[in-house]
Structure 1
Amino acid sequence: MPEAIEAFVPVTVLAEDLVLVDWGPMTMTISVWDKGRARPVMAAASSRSALACLQMLSDFKEFLKIPVCRLPSGVTLPDVVSRAFTAASKVSKELTSLAAVAGAAADHVADVALGMGADKVIVNNGGDIALRLARGKTAVVGLQKIGAKDLAGRLMVRGGAGIGGVASSGWMGRSYSPGVADLVTVWAGTASIADAAATLIAGKTTAFGMNIEQASAAELDPTSDLGDMKVTIAVRYLSPSQRKTALDQGAAIAAAMYSKGLIHGCFLSVQGDFSLLDPARIVKLES
């Protein structure tokens, strides 16, 4: 029961504009403002929905591992599960709903806070970020290099631009990937779409050679939704042609998604080389 979980989940107000939910697989920060003032009470109240998300995702963990192409449509699902399933279905039928779960939880919590009357909400669920910005409000999201402290750049998001989520993926990230991208960051209308898209693009940013080590996902984690898929566990120095091949493949997938209206933009990086899809010119890269 959700009530039983809540008794064990620490929800900490770190600052007026930052509330932390940290329990089990979830490390989420919630920042809420209204009329220019931080609203920690709204943020703390919306954290209850994050705890409910954990319960729903646990109840549907086997459903979430099934490729969406094998799942029936029209099934009644809890909100966070439905968001993940819908996002994965829109991005690629080869994905499982797990590809969008972190973004879906961030979206759910952000919409709860928005419903309380907030005009600016930022929910960061382990690096997958939901944004709810009224017109005139802005947010800056760092393009964080996976496995490094410095930033690759900054994303300048304005309310009314249609961007409601930013998510990242890469072979060194929290989830397994068959690709060689150090970082793929996607911005889209929702965090769940951005999450699924980043997962797919990172997986398609591939190269081949003895300098890339892979293993079966099932061997690394018998519970993985990727089964026997080969995933990347080490990438040594890649030649310029390998880096270009990988970036070109990932960029082509990103461009196709953009042309379909699924995403607003994408940043891809492979060992210092990068590709940027930024039609609205909202990215400022670090020199």
Structure 2
Amino acid sequence: MKRFPQMALLPDGKRLHLQDGPIDLVIEAKGSEGDVRAAYQAAARRFSGLLDELCNELIELRKVADPLRNALNGVVARRMHAAVTPFAAEHFITPMAAVAGSVAEEILGAMLGVARLDRAYVNNGGDIALHLSRGEQFTIGLMDRPDHLGVMQTISIETDDPARGIATSGRHGRSFSLGIADAVTVLARTASQADAAATIIANAVDLPGHPAIVRCPANELQPDSDLGARLVTQDVGVLGEGEIDDALRTGVIRAQQLLAAGLIEGAALRLLGETALVGSTGIGAGVLPAFRGTAIERTAHV
């Protein structure tokens, strides 16, 4: 039986929902009625068959990225590889680390290719590709951890800001994590870059060998995981303030390195109710101002 993607406007009549297997997109465009209609039609056309394109190269996409060779053929698959390549020499990473952001980026590109839009976003499970024209702004809620309700703070992106991609990674997300961060949200120039960088920073927030941290091989939880037998975090027990600071600081150091290299624009790292900010995160003024050092902000659980 042939599988058909699910496509429909949401009840508000403004946002488009596209779903096919694990890909679940919420899209909103702002512009003239004709341009919005054309953009949504283009998004639907490009979405059809996209999952099949990725599945056709899934074996290669699950292999460790080779920074000297890209054997992938599809446009999205090659974008995934390009996004993780800057990290491949020093870290274990596969193109799958950038799949959500790369898909969001592809759909947004299809929309902008046919319509003049004031503002648009494609949200793929929290990884967001963004378009802003002059005078537009985009605000997202920053949560303590992805599986909890409630917004801890907001991130605002202005037209003049270089960030057009937002992604979150951590042990409570849709994918496994090698680290212990509850969530790491990254701003970058593209969604695919943000996706890959969030994975790297979240993996760096860690306390290797700590007895309060429960880990197990990824392939015991998901036999076809691209992480293979690498240990992924399943639970984090009680940690002291100093231990939380140490774990966040390793992530902050990694984020600062990526910021200096121009690979990210900012990051918010969260672990057990504490938050560390790096770079220009655009977080609402007066509560958690962005910083470029390694200080840790103490915050209450949400």
Report deviation, 1:70: 7.2
Partners of 2:66 and 2:85 in 1: CA distance = 8
Q: 1:64 to 1:71 in 2, by over 3 A?
A: farther
Q: Per-residue deviation at 1:162?
A: 1.5
Contact 1:213 1:234 in 2 (8 A): yes
Partner of 2:96: 98
Q: Which residue of structure 1 aligns with residue 175 of structure 2?
A: 175
Q: Helix, strand or coil: the match of 1:227?
A: coil
The answer on whether the counterparts of 1:16 and 1:38 sit within 8 Å (CA) in structure 2 is: no
Q: Is the 8 A contact 1:134 1:160 kept in 2?
A: no
After TM superposition, list the pairs within 5 Å mapping 1:1-287 onto structure 2. Answer: 5=3, 8-14=4-10, 15-34=12-31, 39-69=36-66, 72-73=69-70, 75=71, 77-93=73-89, 94-117=92-115, 118-144=117-143, 145-207=145-207, 208-279=209-280, 282-284=282-284
Task: Quote the offset at 1:35 in angstroms.
Answer: 5.3
Q: Percent identity?
A: 31
Are the counterparts in 1 of residues 140 and 155 from structure 2 also a CA contact under 8 Å? yes
Q: Is the strand fraction higher in 1 or 2?
A: 1
Query: Gapped runs of 5+ residues in structure 2?
Result: 289-298
- The C-alpha deviation readout for 1:226-283, integer Å capped at 9, x for no partner, is 111110001112111211111000011100000000100000011011100133x511
1:40 Cα deviation from its structure 2 partner: 4.4
Aligned mates of 2:55, 2:72 — CA distance in 1: 16
Is the contact between residue 217 and residue 229 of structure 1 (CA under 8 Å) also seen in structure 2? yes
The answer (yes or no) to whether the contact 1:165–1:188 under 8 Å persists in 2 is yes
Deviations along 1:92-125, one digit per CA (max 9) or x if unpaired, are: 3431000001000000001111112223110000
Cα separation, 2, equivalents of 1:233 and 1:38:
45
Answer whether contact 1:179 1:232 (CA < 8 A) is retained. Answer: yes
Structure 1 residue 36 displacement after superposition: 9.2
Counterpart CA distance in 2 for 1:159 and 1:79 is 27
For the structure 1 residues 23 and 238, does the alpha-carbon distance in structure 2 shift closer, same or farther, using more than 3 Å as the test? same
Query: Aligned-pair RMSD on alpha carbons?
Result: 2.0
Name structure 1 gaps, 5 residues minimum: none
Normalised by the length of structure 2, the TM-score is: 0.87
TM-score (norm 1): 0.91
| Amino acid aligned to 2:93 | L
- Which consecutive segments of 4 or more residues in structure 1 shift more than 3 A? 35-38
Q: Please identify, of 103-112 and 52-61, the stretch whose mean Cα deviation from structure 2 is larger.
A: 52-61
Q: How has the CA–CA distance of structure 1 residues 70 and 218 changed in structure 2, closer, same or farther, with 3 Å as cutoff?
A: farther
Q: What do the CA deviations read for 1:189-219 (whole angstroms, capped 9, x no partner)?
A: 0000000000111111001422110001111
Contact 2:38-2:111 within 8 A present in 1 as well: no
Secondary structure at the counterpart of residue 73 of structure 2: coil
SS at match of 2:122: strand
Provide, for residues 142-182 of structure 1, a one-character-per-residue CA deviation record: whole Å limited to 9, x for no partner: 11332210112111011232211100011111111111100
